[in-house]
């Protein structure tokens, strides 16, 4: 059942409740307002109970109805009186119960001889209504006094400076913040579960609720306070995709990571929110945060056995462009244990989404197969294929898994072609959201790279209609990505001008991958060296086409080895780009940005380039050859 249908049902229930509640309580008021009843204590209590019940009907009907709920939320946040009135109205339901108790007690005293005698004394008979009024006020004060007094509007001004996030302790204790935070968290989470993200964002933007929750969360993180509350707040902020501003986003990543490291915990809600923030950051990781991540994986990560938590940790280290040998080996061992589980036991790997994500992020964190993850990826793809035959759901995750396998030059033909069968393919596009448009783009990439990696395979992955649809989406995606490649394009143009200056104009040219390699995001340089004795004398084949691949730091991942060394290796996407260009008869030369700047400073770039090219030209000798 969709959220829209559910809301409509609740709205109609509220309308029906108001109609029948008004009619029933009004009839009761008419009856007990007659002369026969209104002179008695019994009648007065009945009238009081009916009035309170009628107010309860209106209050909860208005709060549950989708339209009036939004209006009440907005109005309560606008004035002091509305805020106090809203909190006071929360006592109606409990007050109704107390009136019912008083009503029952009145009937009990009426039929009990001893108590009736006490009730009929002159003093009690004269002041009984004063007693009832004072008792009612005491009950109301006890029920609502503290919440009405402490519940008030709070305005919070955000600043990019770190200290502005540290809320004043006195002000927090004065406003009863813990109960307020819990209520606001529940309210925001309820909104996110009932409405689309854009509607929720629009509604919350008129209030200070999200800012208040973020500030409170940051305070707890800095003080290393209650993990239960941090879990709740991270869950809520993640549900509405609340991302800190670019000026402080790295500070949030640092504090969240430092918090779970300090608490030695693997909370899914905290990790998922940290992943969301980290995926939205474009800044370079500091050595301090990598050191904290390394310690966290050693102390906590490698001791995890739950595959769901392990998968989230894989995604986390991938978002940091980081890999850890001990942790990856622990992941592989846990997967092996679950693969060996007998069929009569519940196997988490039968979950298509979990299995697909494990495949994808293993491919990203071990792109060069340094940690021997390839055999496990192949086994997981077989399990995925078996699960696909049993369940056609979660097709988008299966495509993501195969895209990761393609980056690492791993293919499961049966899984590939069963994914694009007519009975499964339409299911890939049934859910709106971020994955909808990534699916055809990923299939487009797999279709073209498969024909290069496996040229003997005659079957095409996508037919002409699928390919036409996927190409349009893929082109739009690449246009948006290429427009943001300012640093890379600047580096590429500098190299192009430099090689033309060194070897002559026309030696170097930029290859537009959008035309020739539509599945590769980054352009590269093609170098055609002059045929002269100087180059041939150092062993360079001047007839060979040379491709210069500029490499930025963002195209590398840091690998923490078991021997304690930290090295940089090409990321999975860069590895795929290297492989595909090399298969088009290019001699590849990588130019790393840091090394380029140093060579430019020392005026050694020509020497380094020619040395690297000459070393690549030397044929590799086998042991048999060297023994001669």
Determine the pLDDT at residue 436.
Answer: 52
Determine the pLDDT at residue 254.
Answer: 92
Is residue 300 assigned to a domain? no
Q: Which residues contact 102 (CB under 8 A, 6 or more apart)?
A: 45, 132, 135
Determine the pLDDT at residue 392.
Answer: 61
DSSP state of 344: T
DSSP state of 524: E
Of the residues 472, 505, 528, the one at which a domain ends:
472
CA angle 451, 455, 459 (to 5 degrees): 65
Q: Contact at 8 Å (CB) between 97 and 143?
A: no
pLDDT digits (tens, 9 = 90+) for 463-483: 888 888 888 888 888 888 777
For residues 346 and 385, membership in a common domain is answered with: yes
Q: Contact at 8 Å (CB) between 96 and 136?
A: no
Is residue 315 assigned to a domain? no
Q: What is the CA radius of gyration of the chain?
A: 34
Determine the pLDDT at residue 156.
Answer: 41
Give the separation between CA 356 and CA 362, rounded to whole angstroms.
10
pLDDT digits (tens, 9 = 90+) for 220-242: 898 887 888 899 999 999 999 89
Retrieve residue 360's tokens: 């994808």
For residues 455 and 526, membership in a common domain is answered with: no
Is it the case that residue 365 has pLDDT exceeding 90?
yes
Determine the pLDDT at residue 380.
Answer: 94
Of the residues 123, 150, 177, the one at which a domain ends:
150
Is residue 304 assigned to a domain? no
pLDDT digits (tens, 9 = 90+) for 557-571: 999 988 888 899 999
For residues 364 and 434, membership in a common domain is answered with: yes
Give the separation between CA 218 and CA 251, rounded to whole angstroms.
10
Is it the case that residue 318 has pLDDT exceeding 90?
yes
Is residue 110 assigned to a domain? yes
For residues 340 and 411, membership in a common domain is answered with: yes
pLDDT digits (tens, 9 = 90+) for 258-313: 999 999 999 999 999 999 999 888 788 888 999 999 999 999 999 999 999 999 99
Return the closest-CA partner of residue 4 out of 158, 189, 199: 199
For residues 339 and 447, membership in a common domain is answered with: yes
Average pLDDT over residues 5-15: 76
Is it the case that residue 152 has pLDDT exceeding 60?
no
Is residue 399 assigned to a domain? yes
322 in helix, strand or coil?
strand
Is it the case that residue 344 has pLDDT exceeding 60?
no
3-state secondary structure 130-188: HHHHHHHHHHHHHHHHHHHHHCCCCCCCCCCCHHHHCCCHHHHHHCCHHHHHHHHHHHH
Give the separation between CA 411 and CA 416, rounded to whole angstroms.
8
Lowest mean pLDDT among 82-91, 194-203, 244-253, 493-502: 82-91
**Whole domain around residue 385: which residue ranges?**
325-472
Q: Is 275 exposed, middle or buried (0-12, 13-18, 19+ CB in 10 A)?
A: buried
For residues 234 and 259, membership in a common domain is answered with: yes
Is residue 464 assigned to a domain? yes
Is residue 378 assigned to a domain? yes
Give the separation between CA 257 and CA 251, rounded to whole angstroms.
10
Determine the pLDDT at residue 147.
Answer: 56
3-state secondary structure 64-97: HCHHHHHHHHHHHCCCHHHHHHHHHHCCHHHHHH
Determine the pLDDT at residue 125.
Answer: 57
Give the separation between CA 588 and CA 185, rounded to whole angstroms.
54
Average pLDDT over residues 118-122: 54
Query: What separation in angstroms does the CA of 222 have from each of 83, 262, 483?
Result: 30, 11, 38
Is it the case that residue 582 has pLDDT exceeding 80?
yes
Give the separation between CA 183 and CA 426, rounded to whole angstroms.
41
Average pLDDT over residues 484-497: 90
pLDDT-based confidence at residue 163 (cuts at 50, 70, 90): very low
Q: Contact at 8 Å (CB) between 546 and 526?
A: yes
Q: Name, of 101-105, 184-188, 509-513, the range with top average pLDDT.
A: 509-513
For residues 196 and 238, membership in a common domain is answered with: yes
Give the separation between CA 405 and CA 423, rounded to whole angstroms.
23
Spell 188-203 as b/e; 16+ CB within 10 A means b. Answer: bbebbebbeeeebbeb
Its pTM stands at 0.70
Average pLDDT over residues 378-395: 81
For residues 370 and 431, membership in a common domain is answered with: yes
Determine the pLDDT at residue 577.
Answer: 92
Q: What percent of the chain has pLDDT over 90?
A: 29
H/E element, 550:
strand 546-551
For residues 493 and 611, membership in a common domain is answered with: yes
H/E element, 11:
helix 3-32
Determine the pLDDT at residue 432.
Answer: 36
For residues 41 and 88, membership in a common domain is answered with: yes
Determine the pLDDT at residue 408.
Answer: 92
Give the separation between CA 438 and CA 470, rounded to whole angstroms.
10
Lowest mean pLDDT among 107-116, 128-137, 212-221, 285-294: 107-116
Is residue 607 assigned to a domain? yes
pLDDT digits (tens, 9 = 90+) for 209-219: 888 889 889 98
- CA 281 from centroid of its chain's CA atoms: 13
pLDDT digits (tens, 9 = 90+) for 18-37: 898 889 888 888 888 887 77
For residues 145 and 166, membership in a common domain is answered with: no
pLDDT greater at residue 222 or residue 90: 222
Is it the case that residue 545 has pLDDT exceeding 80?
yes
297 in helix, strand or coil?
helix
- The count of structural domains within the chain is 4
Determine the pLDDT at residue 111.
Answer: 60
Return the closest-CA partner of residue 249 out of 225, 273, 222: 273
For residues 145 and 160, membership in a common domain is answered with: no
Could you tell me the maximum CA-CA distance found in the chain, to the nearest angstrom? 128
Of the residues 150, 181, 207, the one at which a domain ends:
150
Retrieve residue 337's tokens: 């244990």
């Amino acid at each position: 059942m969709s959220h829209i249908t559910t809301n409509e049902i609740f709205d109609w229930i509220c309308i029906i409740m108001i109609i029948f509640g008004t009619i029933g309580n009004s009839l009761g008021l008419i009856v007990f307002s007659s002369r026969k009843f209104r002179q008695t204590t019994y009648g007065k209590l009945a009238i009081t109970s009916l009035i309170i019940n009628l107010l309860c009907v209106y209050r909860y009907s208005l709060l549950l109805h989708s339209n009036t709920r939004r209006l009440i939320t907005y109005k309560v946040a606008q004035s002091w009186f509305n805020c106090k009135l809203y909190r006071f109205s929360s006592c109606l339901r409990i007050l109704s119960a107390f009136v019912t108790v008083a009503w029952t007690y009145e009937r009990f005293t009426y039929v009990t001889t001893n108590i009736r005698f006490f009730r009929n004394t002159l003093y009690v008979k004269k002041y009984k209504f004063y007693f009832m009024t004072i008792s009612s006020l005491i009950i109301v004060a006890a029920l609502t006094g503290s919440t009405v007094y402490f519940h008030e509007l709070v305005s919070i001004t955000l600043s990019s400076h770190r200290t502005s996030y540290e809320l004043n302790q006195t002000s927090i204790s004065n406003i009863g913040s813990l109960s307020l935070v819990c209520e606001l968290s529940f309210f925001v989470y309820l909104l996110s579960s009932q409405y689309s993200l854009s509607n929720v964002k629009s509604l919350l933007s008129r209030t200070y609720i999200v800012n208040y929750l973020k500030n409170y969360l940051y305070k707890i993180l800095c003080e290393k306070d209650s993990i239960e509350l941090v879990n709740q707040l991270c869950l809520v902020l993640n549900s509405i995709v609340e991302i800190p501003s670019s000026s402080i986003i790295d500070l949030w990543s640092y504090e969240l990571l430092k918090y779970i490291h300090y608490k030695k915990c693997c909370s899914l809600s905290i990790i998922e929110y940290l992943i969301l923030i980290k995926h939205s950051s474009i800044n370079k990781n500091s050595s301090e945060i990598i050191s904290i991540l390394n310690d966290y994986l050693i102390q906590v990560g490698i001791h995890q056995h739950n595959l769901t938590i392990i998968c989230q940790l894989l995604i986390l280290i991938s978002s940091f462009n980081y890999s850890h040998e001990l942790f990856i080996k622990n992941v592989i061992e846990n997967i092996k244990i679950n693969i060996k589980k007998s069929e009569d036991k519940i196997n988490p790997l039968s979950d298509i989404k979990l299995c697909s994500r494990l495949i994808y992020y293993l491919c990203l964190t071990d792109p060069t197969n340094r940690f021997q993850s390839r055999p496990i990826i192949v086994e997981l793809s077989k399990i995925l294929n078996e699960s696909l035959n049993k369940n056609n759901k979660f097709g988008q995750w299966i495509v993501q898994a195969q895209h990761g396998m393609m980056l690492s030059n791993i293919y499961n033909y049966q899984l590939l072609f069963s994914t694009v069968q007519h009975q499964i393919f339409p299911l890939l596009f049934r859910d709106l959201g971020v994955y909808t448009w990534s699916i055809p783009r990923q299939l487009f990439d797999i279709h073209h790279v498969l024909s290069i990696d496996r040229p003997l395979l005659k079957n095409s992955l996508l037919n002409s209609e699928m390919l036409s649809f996927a190409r349009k989406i893929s082109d739009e995606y690449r246009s948006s990505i290429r427009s943001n490649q300012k640093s890379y394009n600047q580096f590429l143009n500098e190299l192009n001008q430099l090689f033309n200056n060194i070897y002559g104009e026309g030696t170097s040219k930029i290859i537009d991958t959008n035309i020739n390699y539509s599945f590769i995001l980054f352009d590269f340089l093609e170098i055609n060296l002059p045929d002269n004795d100087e180059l041939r004398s150092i062993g360079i084949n001047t007839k060979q086409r040379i491709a210069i691949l500029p490499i930025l730091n963002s195209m590398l991942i840091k690998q923490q080895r078991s021997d304690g060394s930290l090295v940089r290796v090409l990321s999975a996407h860069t590895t795929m780009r290297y492989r595909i260009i090399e298969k088009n008869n290019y001699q590849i030369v990588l130019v790393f940005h840091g090394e380029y700047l140093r060579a430019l400073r020392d005026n050694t770039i020509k020497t380094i380039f020619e040395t690297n090219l000459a070393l690549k030209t030397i044929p590799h000798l086998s042991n048999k050859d060297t023994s001669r």
